[in-house]
Amino acid sequence: MNLGLAAWHRAMAAGTPDELLRELIAEDAVFHSPVVHTPQVGRAKVMLYLGAAGQVFADTGFTYVRELVDGPEACLEFTATIDGIEVNGIDLIRFDLEGRIVDFKVMVRPLKAINMLWQKMAESLQNS
């Protein structure tokens, strides 16, 4: 079993508190947003984006519905409903040998959901 993935699920169940994320994310981790063109590098930035996403997806019925795991790689499909818009996406996560996240990529569909998430993430990041 992927220990990093188990830790990720524990953090999600706890509402992704900062102390759990800090332990789970590698110092040089990289976050790839579906709406930001450049990768966000470093634990602080990854935590910022994951924290903002946690706020945006709070109380949306966010649920992982499928999980594909190959060693240190995990592809987690999720669904949620935000402002009446059905969101479907994947979190593609790579863990290092210690189980820390080193790469986190989010992909979202449909386009209507991406546009809405861009707006809500921008608002959440401004308030951080």
Confidence of residue 123 (pLDDT cuts 50, 70, 90): confident
- Summarised one tens digit per residue, pLDDT across range 78-105 is 999 999 999 999 999 999 999 999 999 9
As a whole number, mean pLDDT of residues 21-27 equals 93
Q: How many residues does the chain have?
A: 128
Domain range list for the chain: 3-126
Q: What is the dihedral of CA 79, 48, 52, 78, to 10 degrees?
A: 0
- Summarised one tens digit per residue, pLDDT across range 57-84 is 989 999 999 999 999 999 999 999 999 9
Query: Does domain 3-126 sit in CATH 3.30.450.20?
Result: no
Confidence of residue 19 (pLDDT cuts 50, 70, 90): confident
- Summarised one tens digit per residue, pLDDT across range 37-56 is 899 999 999 999 998 898 89
Sheet holding 73-82, edge to edge: 40-41, 25-32, 101-109, 85-95, 73-82, 63-70
